[in-house]
Structure 1
Amino acid sequence: SAATPPLLPPGTAPGEYRPTPPAFAPAAFTHWAAVTPFVLDRASRFRPGAYPALSGAAYAKAVQEVAAAGRDTGTTRTADETQQARFWAAPIWNYWNEITQSVVGGSHPGLVVAARVFARLNLAFADAVIAFYEAKYHYRIWRPVTAVRLAADDGNPATQGIPDWSSLATTPPDPAYPGAHSVISQAGAQVLRQEYGPRRPLAVTSEALPGVVRHFTSFQDVADEAGLSRIVAGVHTRLDHDAGRRLGQDVATFVLRS
């Protein structure tokens, strides 16, 4: 992990990842797929299926959704969705460790059980990060800000280019597919659901939006909102979210069975 990450040449063809505004920073963690997983036998074990064709209806629908809901201004986003986008803007594993700390502390399980829960959670996260970076740099799919701005060149008559489009949140410097928030959140929900059952009242706070508390009735509700928040933030499409959910579920299930 201390190796110098190789530079990723910017894509030129429709759909290919390239650096995003405003900083146009080089792609990050390009080497992370080479990290040896802790539990998975290989980083690509649960790699999501191929990204849908840019010419298809699924792609057009996903781009239309993020273009409308994820824009910084003139958006279809509700006030609550804007809060969600801002609330979930911090590193996603931080939320899940804090949720786990609250749940474990409230159940007074003893040191051995508490250590087991945190170990399973963070082993799942560690391998999920390796797995999603492997998939991101295998497919190298462009981010919504690029997809929307260059939609006139994507070969799909159902998408419309908006050259001045900007996302609500700043786009992270890595490819879109699959979505990291969705991967990690689904993995976290799967681990905690196995330990504590599917339904539990949860109050979640955010370092990105101090003073705001969001309430949930299940771990899955938390995972769904966290993942979908990246669509209304303008940095992912639903295609990224759906693939991320599946990957997180598969990685966590594998870790829990090992």
Structure 2
Amino acid sequence: MALLTRRGWRRGAAGIAAAALTVGISLAAPATAATAAITIDTTLEWYDVTATAVATGTRPQVTSNRAWAISWLAAARAVRTAPASPAYQDAALASAVHTALSALIPDATPSLDAALRTTLDRIPDGRAKDRGRAAGQREALSLVAERSGDGLDPASVNTPYPAPPAAPGIWQPTPPSFTAAQQAGNRFATPFLLDRADRYRLGPPPALGSARYRADLAEVRAYGAAGSTVRTPQQTDTATFWLGSSLTLYTGILRAALAQWTRSAAGRASLVAVFHVALVDTQIATSDTKYAYLRWRPVTAIRADGDPGWTPLHDTPAHPDYPSGHNTYAGAAEAVLTALAGARAREAYAITSPTQPGVTRTYTDWHRPTRENVDARVWSGIHTRTADEAGVRLGRDVAAHAVRNAARLFD
């Protein structure tokens, strides 16, 4: 899999890592003894508050990424104003995230209010605290207003998309629910840093009947079937673990990076902000390529290829095959973390999955989750390997653009 080799990616990461310095993100900086002695880490505290708030209610994944991006970009802007004052920084970060999330996720306001009281009660009263609160509120309200009408609200993301006429290679609603196409509206949304949705549009998928197309279909038919006799239990576990929301799964991965690799409050807030800005832009670009080519899903292709009873291990999501959204997400996440936090985690980290309760997976870098995502979607029977590998490439391209241009977020 040439797309997933470390050598090629590291060359690209080296080219964009310098951009991290312009947004104040330290690269693989170890924690100091003073940092380790702090009992309550306000940045991690509000990271967890954000994760809880975002989990309130049901909304499209990109809408939730947008809430992360707006709240933490506001926090990063506010915190950078007075980097020498811990009281200012903590008050600014908490107030910015609280103000933004209260506006974007009103149902979470009671818990957000309680969290803000907890943070502010432990900060000594004084001018620094007051200035921090004011700066956080100001940056949050400004950014919420700036992003109003950006097309990332649930209704705009899932604008109705009539199924196209049935034809070989063309996406159609898939069993068992035959749900109408989802996320078609993403491609019309306003990105944070991309100038247009098709900036990194992929080339077309393999031609029907080509050698690569036949190999892709044969692999999914064999390894992705509900009753596959060649898929191993370990492969089934991988498919099930990564079936859940990419945002949910990568919340744990980003938290590990945040806890391990950065030092300053401004840098840490910027890491979270740039990560989610890149992921919003990646999902916009993903929708652009998906709906430009409308490639049918494996279940449709295999049933049309003489196997009408074929069923995938997991139900197929309601949007086109090419590229895989899980893998654009994985590729972008890996790219941002590698560029801004280094290629490897300082310590091993563990994550859980909502689709495989009770199971924990442990990693030492940001690359292995990408490799597992590529395989998982094939073994689930819901994507071709080409769609997965192309997705990684698109995600990395958009993330590299975000890191190169991240300074624009703080102008």
Whether these two folds match at TM > 0.5 is yes
1:174 and 1:121 mapped to 2: Cα distance?
24
Which 4+ residue blocks in structure 1 deviate beyond 4 angstroms?
none
Shift of 1:107: 4.2
2:364 and 2:234 mapped to 1: Cα distance?
17
Shift of 1:197: 1.5
SS at 2:184's partner residue? coil
Equivalent of residue 320 in structure 2, options 175, 192, 198: 175
Q: How does 1:149-164 map to 2 (within 5 A)?
A: 149-151=303-305, 161-164=306-309
Residue 402 of structure 2 is matched in structure 1 by 255
Residue 156 of structure 1 is matched in structure 2 by none
- Whether contact under 8 Å (1:186, 1:223) holds in the other structure is yes
Q: Is 2:385 the counterpart of 1:238?
A: yes
State which drifts further: 191-200 or 118-127: 191-200
Deviations 1:106-134 (A, max 9, x none): 34624212211111110110000000011
Residue 196 of structure 2 is matched in structure 1 by 42
2:230 and 2:278 mapped to 1: Cα distance?
35
SS at 2:337's partner residue? helix
Residue 161 of structure 2 is matched in structure 1 by 7
Residue 275 of structure 2 is matched in structure 1 by 121
- Whether contact under 8 Å (2:173, 2:318) holds in the other structure is yes
Structure 1 107/56 Cα, relative in aligned 2: closer, same or farther at 3 Å? closer
Deviations 1:154-192 (A, max 9, x none): xxxxxxx21100011110000010000110001001111
TM-score normalised by L of structure 1:
0.92
Residue 194 of structure 1 is matched in structure 2 by 339
Residue 141 of structure 1 is matched in structure 2 by 295
Residue 89 of structure 1 is matched in structure 2 by 243
Q: Is 2:377 the counterpart of 1:223?
A: no
1:92 and 1:211 mapped to 2: Cα distance?
18
Shift of 1:94: 1.9
Deviations 1:50-92 (A, max 9, x none): 1111121000000000110000013311111100111011111
- Whether contact under 8 Å (1:93, 1:125) holds in the other structure is no
Larger radius of gyration: 2
Deviations 1:31-62 (A, max 9, x none): 22110111001000101101111121000000
State which drifts further: 139-148 or 99-108: 99-108
- Whether contact under 8 Å (1:62, 1:239) holds in the other structure is yes
SS at 2:376's partner residue? helix
- Whether contact under 8 Å (1:8, 1:30) holds in the other structure is no
Deviations 1:1-49 (A, max 9, x none): 3347132223411100000000001111222211011100100010110
- Whether contact under 8 Å (2:328, 2:393) holds in the other structure is yes
Q: How does 1:28-107 map to 2 (within 5 A)?
A: 28-107=182-261
1:21 and 1:94 mapped to 2: Cα distance?
25
Structure 1 74/96 Cα, relative in aligned 2: closer, same or farther at 3 Å? closer
Structure 1 30/107 Cα, relative in aligned 2: closer, same or farther at 3 Å? closer
Structure 2: 5+ residue stretches without partners: 1-150, 406-411
Shift of 1:103: 2.4
TM-score normalised by L of structure 2:
0.59
Query: Which amino acid is the alignment partner of residue 66 of structure 1?
Result: V
1:202 and 1:238 mapped to 2: Cα distance?
27
Quote the RMSD (CA, aligned, Å).
1.4
Shift of 1:205: 1.3
SS at 1:175's partner residue? coil
1:237 and 1:217 mapped to 2: Cα distance?
27
User: Across the two proteins, how many residue pairs are aligned to each other?
Assistant: 249
Q: Which has the higher helix share?
A: 2
SS at 1:31's partner residue? helix
Q: Which has the higher contact order (CA 8 A, sep 6+)?
A: 1
- Whether contact under 8 Å (2:163, 2:173) holds in the other structure is no
- Whether contact under 8 Å (2:225, 2:380) holds in the other structure is yes
